[in-house]
Amino acid sequence: MPADEQSVQSVALRRRRYTGETFQQAHRAIKRLTTGAAPIPTPQSPAQERLEARVLLNLLEYRNLYTRYPLGIEAVQPTPDGIALRVESVERAAEILFALLPAHAPGEEVHGLPGLRIVNRLQSAIELQVLNQPTQLRLRGLPASLWHRAEQIMLTKWIDPDAMQLCWRTAPKTWTSAEREHMTVLEDDSEPFIRRCLRGSWLGSALLRRAALFHTVANTYFVDGYRGLGLNAMRWVMRSSHAPQHGPGAQHLVAALLDPVYGVPLRLIRFRGDTDESSGSDQHFVLEDSNKTARLELHASVERPSEFLNPELWKAILRRIPAALPANGLPHAVTISLGNAG
């Protein structure tokens, strides 16, 4: 990393656009990195990478309410050995806990992430870890009382404790047999689908570590998606809703992802839509890495909010949408690619 203070500040300002951290948090993170390290580090262990990919998948799949930030995540703090997510609200926290914490009903697959446990409760955060693996996930942004409240909402709204084994409660320090069996399936690289999932998990991790881009460089107000199997690469499909006539659109998000220093190692291979985002047409971007291990398909729609989105929340969303282009603008090379992609 750059040694002089002016360069450190410049890198920190760029990093926080991707992570949503405060300047002080980004500055401290950059100062801690070793010389030559990437400003947004990758996970040190495959286990951490796989955990983050599964976390992103569950953040995309479990969307039952609208939030001020597209994923309900205000900021991320990535480090080489873990990641912290700043959760927007207690309601979104309940959704996330439901999506992540493992539970099991007889005769069914494990719901959630096998082996994941709450290992520490702090004043304004909880720490989770996959048992016996070098993984770290911190959920922060709420006082301890509200994390307990989020757990109660989860249990009351979505889970019948009498019908399901709550693995994270009944076996807090050991794997259940159902979890072991399910994890064996998830990591059986003799199966082509699992092998592609494991090879493509780096992209899920990389996107989670840059999750703030959806609300720092584009007028996104909602994101969901899923993971699917392509002919060669693992497909990460993301559907984003964008506010009409407010702020920069989805192509600025794509440009930021393609940044050679702060972005992800993808290239734009296909584009459908109108490059003039003021026309209000949908846009479809397909990006892929050179080794064809992972593909990102972004379906961006300019649309008015659903009738289920509270008007006051919509006003809050419009207030936080970036009003102008990012300081670095839209790279010329990306503009050309968008115009000519087939």
Least confident of 47-56, 205-214, 231-240: 231-240
Beta-sheet strands, E only, within the chain? 73-79, 82-87, 103-104, 116-121, 125-130, 137-140, 165-166, 220-229, 234-242, 267-272, 283-288, 294-302
Alpha carbons 11 and 35: distance in angstroms, whole number: 13
Q: What is the pTM of this model?
A: 0.92
* CA angle (63 as vertex; 59, 66 as ends), nearest 5: 115
Alpha carbons 318 and 315: distance in angstroms, whole number: 5
Above 70 in pLDDT, residue 80? Answer: yes
Alpha carbons 125 and 334: distance in angstroms, whole number: 39
Cβ atoms of 340 and 269 within 8 Å: the answer is no
Using alpha carbons only, how large is the chain's radius of gyration in Å? 20
Each residue's pLDDT tens digit, 272-318: 987 776 666 789 999 999 999 999 999 999 999 999 999 999 999 99
